[in-house]
Chains A and B, each alone.
Chain A
Amino acid sequence: MTETMVPVGGPEASARRIGVYVCHCGGNISDYVDVEKVIADIRGAGDVVVAKTAMFTCSDATQQEIVADIQANELDGLVVASCSPKLHTYTFRGVAARAGLNPYEYTQVNIREQCSWVHTDDTQAATAKATALVNAGIGRTRHTTPLVPLVVETLPHTLVIGGGIAGLRAAIGLADIGLKVTLVERELALGGWVKDLGTMYPHNRNGRELIDSLIAGVKRRPAITVLTGAEVVGKAGSFGNYRMSVRIGDPGSASIEVAVGSVVVATGFDAYAPADGEFGFGLDGVVTLPDFKAMVDSATGPLMWKGRKVRSVAYVYCVGSRGTGGCAGQACSRYCCAATVQTAVQLSGLDPAIGQYHLYRDMRTYGKFEPLYTEARKAGSVFLKFDNDMPPAVETRPDGRLTVTVTDLLTERTELAIPVDLVVLVTAMAPRANDELVKVLKLPAGADGFFNEIHPKLRPVETVVDGVLIAGACQGPKTSSESVASGLAAVTQSAAVLKKGYTELDPLVALVVPEACTACGDCLTACPYDAIAMTQEGDRHWAVISAAGCKGCGGCVPMCPESAIDLLGYTDAEVTSMIESLAEVPA
């Protein structure tokens, strides 16, 4: 493995042989952009050797034609002007590779989403803009150099952090796919929140039993090593071969080293802790949903509170979520409407006479959980809808019982004062405090404190740290089945990189031009991934960027007072030439 990546000597910019393909997209582009005029107007300067339009550039036939053109004309650059680069960048990188052209000598130009579709009312202007965009693509391609992905070996071993339902299921999945697993759990017991739950929605399965069956599955698999009462305290090495330090026992205890190819973070969530006085929190008889659920789970008949039978309960929903009562949490916590309604049904079963009042903002027993809501209503639960401008108030009456006052939107905004024995605050999922882990793994956390994936739809368990995956409720509020699903996605993603035994890293990383570097050190603090270091040869000092550690964000580029850093794929020369072409008004 080499640590620096030097472009492998591209031909002189003036001597390029570039092929340009402008796509009709079956009319999606050519109905609004005169694609033939684009071809006629592009600024070739002699280095555009092939320029064609195609009905569908991404079709097999056109792909084959491009391969043939590249080979017959010895092209050393390729420009495809069609749709968004999100759709076919890998398609055309593949076309280039099949023709023997370095995939990084190809530039995608977006003339559909960012041109034809937004200028459907002005063909002339859309055509002129498309021409400028294609010229910018040609300009950029003149400055490209062949790049080779960094190949790194990967160890067939995954570290799973967090032994909740997501981490346990992921550990089993990883072992079954043939990988070694080390599972690190901070607590002494495995199972996270679910181990403490009785009846769960849907299907009324018991949480403790679910966890017991997963733990039995873990024990049956010798490929899994479990470390409890343990925490990850250090990470060294790079993607494919991370050397993780795991401390077993209290701070100060010894740590062991585990070498792994990937890491799955499944550290879960914490329950939102209401502030003193928030919806009566702190008053006798005001409890949170997790505490109340534990009471109901352990009851065998009517609930008791301080020696007295509980005759009525009021639930206040969305505490700590959706900005309720001015709280900071903005997201919907997903699990809580269904969990509360399920708990209410469970309680009606134990005590059919109990009065239950649900003070909610919107009832989100989505998807397959909806029948639970009907079931709760049939069992006698009353639902009252409040507006966030008029949140409910909780007070203690002189006789010691509680009163909740609510303005019900469903009965012409009638103000109701309901005397109850217990008030349950339906608390949100909050991010778990994990500062040390965040620091060790460089985990990207969002403004809400949960961990961020690269892309919620397309790359839902990968982080920008290569080989570090996230799963379960540490990503944001999730039900247990959603947590398990993301745990299994992390299994697939780990297997995809570890089973081959090697992986390729994107070569679009930052480079220091040593001659321009004055070793001022400004860039050293610019990289949160510690990819930049100083090196020296004799008296000369300069900064180097580790290709394996660089995430390719370019954040260090403007921090260099000497402009000595370039991001490959977005070099100063490439961007400058694009700016100049885009500024032109083509004929």
Chain B
Amino acid sequence: MTAPVATEPRASADTFVPKILVFSTNNISDPGIDLAGSAHMHYSPGVRVIGLPCTSGVRPSWILHALESGFDGVFVASDGDECAYLHDCAKRSSRIMSLAQTAMRERGIDAGRLRMAAICSVCSEPFTKHVVGFAAALVPLGPVMATKAAAGTGAQA
């Protein structure tokens, strides 16, 4: 039997609240996320948002840094086809995602800890569903720090 290289062990967690970093966009997805608040929808307080002009500007190193600083997952709330700056924004954002996921795999971080979805400026409910679903999917993976130590990889970005 060959052991897979650097995969995360499944952790059991009773009161584990995953911490999720969200990258949003100032003109499109962030207003959608604001709208979830205006409508008093609920998601986990582990969700924290950093707004940028465009998700095509996310450095892959920021995603890694988040996962190595204590975030259990990173969610990129992209503009999809609505980006006012870049017509190929979706392609650029996907490229950033795959660069980050490659680097994550090298460090033994489960690629499932990174997700991206297009969130529009009125997508309050889809956003809430995405982060609630993501948090649920992160629970069986456990805290990222603990699993990293268990996998024996301590590489720094």
Contact = CB atoms under 8 A, between A and B. Distances in A.
The reply to whether chain A is a binding partner of chain B is: yes
A555 B37 contact: no
B70 interface: yes
Given A118-B42, A444-B87, A567 B57 contact: yes
A558 B48 contact: no
A113 B86 contact: no
Nearest to A130: B45
B21 interface: yes
Contacts of B51: 85
Interface stretch (B2-10, B60-68, B105-113, B148-156): B60-68
Contacts of A558: 56-60, 92, 96, 99
A464 interface: yes
A456 to B, nearest CB: 8
A518 interface: no
Interface residues of B, number: 48
Interface stretch (A226-234, A332-340, A373-381, A446-454): A446-454
Interface stretch (A5-13, A492-500, A574-582): A574-582
Interface in B28-54: 30-31, 33-38, 40-43, 45, 48-54
A554 B66 contact: no
A551 interface: yes
B84 interface: yes
B34 A579 contact: no
Nearest to A579: B66
Nearest to A463: B84
A583 interface: yes
A29 B23 CA distance: 23
B34 A583 contact: no
B56 A554 contact: yes
B116 to A, nearest CB: 14
Given A558-B58, A583-B66, A454 B84 contact: yes
Contacts of B99: 558
Given A86-B31, A558-B56, A579-B65, A553 B85 contact: yes
A567 B55 CA distance: 13
Contacts of A580: 65, 69
A528 interface: yes
B71 interface: yes
Given A554-B56, A567-B53, A583-B19, A133 B48 contact: yes
B-side interface mostly: mixed
Contacts of B54: 553-555
A445 interface: yes
Nearest to B70: A583
Interface stretch (A121-129, A268-276, A312-320): A121-129
B35 to A, nearest CB: 8
B27 A132 contact: no
Contacts of B31: 84, 86
B71 A583 contact: yes
Interface in A34-84: 84
Nearest to B33: A114
B82 A446 contact: yes
Contact of B50 (A119, A125, A578): A578
A446 B48 contact: no
Contacts of A128: 45
A119 B37 CA distance: 9
12 contacts: A110-B34, A110-B49, A114-B49, A126-B45, A508-B53, A553-B86, A555-B89, A558-B56, A558-B92, A579-B65, A580-B69, A582-B48
Interface of B: 17, 19, 21, 26-27, 30-31, 33-38, 40-43, 45, 48-54, 56-62, 65-66, 69-71, 81-82, 84-87, 89, 92, 96, 99, 121
Interface of A: 84-86, 110, 112-115, 117-122, 125-126, 128-129, 132-133, 136, 444-447, 452-455, 463-464, 508, 528, 551-555, 557-558, 563, 567, 570, 572, 575-576, 578-580, 582-585
Q: 8 shortest A-B CB distances, which residue pairs? A: A554-B57, A113-B37, A583-B70, A553-B85, A125-B45, A117-B37, A113-B34, A555-B56
